[in-house]
Amino acid sequence: MEVIKTAIEGVVIIEPRLFKDSRGYFFESFSQREFEEKVAKITFVQDNESMSSYGVMRGLHFQRPPFTQSKLVRCVKGAVLDVAVDIRKGSPTYGQHVAVELTEDNHRQFFIPQGFAHGFAVLSETAVFQYKCDNFYHPEADGGISILDSSLGIDWRIPTEHAILSEKDTKHSLLKDFDSPFEFGPF
C-alpha cells in the first residue's frame, strides 16, 4: 500500500497495490501489520457499512471523549467526496479540512484520526461506504458540526438544493459556535 500524506498531519490517503489480470483484480484491503508500520498503531474493533443515493450528505460526525473514534473509510460502490475537519483546540490546522474522492474504481481509503469531524457526500447514483472504527459506537457520545457550514470552505460538489440530510445533521452547530472537546496533541 502507498500512503499519501495530506495538508493535515495524521490524515492520510491510502492507495492499495492492485493486481489485475484477465479475471479481474485482487488487493489487500487491510493489513494490521502494514497499517501500523506505515500509518499508526491502532486496533479496529467495529466495521460499518452504509448505502446512500446521490445527494446524501452525512456528517460532520465525531464521538466525544472518552469514546473518540479514528476511522479508516472507503467507497466500495459508486463515488463519494469524503472530508475530515480538524476540531482539535490549539491545533495549527483547527477548522481546516482535507477532502478526497473515494470511488469503487480508485480503491482509495482515507484515515481520519481522533479529533476530527468526518462526513461525506454521495456523488454517484448510489454509493456503498464502509469504515473501520477503533472504538465502539456510543450514542451518548455522538457529536457533530454543521456539514453546510460555509466558513469551512468545503466544496461538496453537490448543489445545496440537492443535498439530502438527516434531521439530526440539520441541527449541528456551526464551527464558530462549537466548543470542541478535543485538545491538540500527539496521535
Active site residues: 61, 131
CA distances from 98 to 26, 73, 111, 120 (A): 28, 14, 11, 11
CA distances from 153 to 52, 95, 157 (A): 24, 10, 12
The three cell numbers of residue 156 are 461538496
Helix, strand and coil content of the chain, in percent to the nearest 5, comes to 10, 45, 45
CA distances from 94 to 63, 81, 85, 159, 170 (A): 17, 20, 8, 26, 22
Residue 9 DSSP symbol: T
Whether 99 and 83 have beta carbons less than 8 Å apart is answered as yes
Give Cα 170 to chain centroid, integer Å: 19
d(CA 61, CA 120): 10
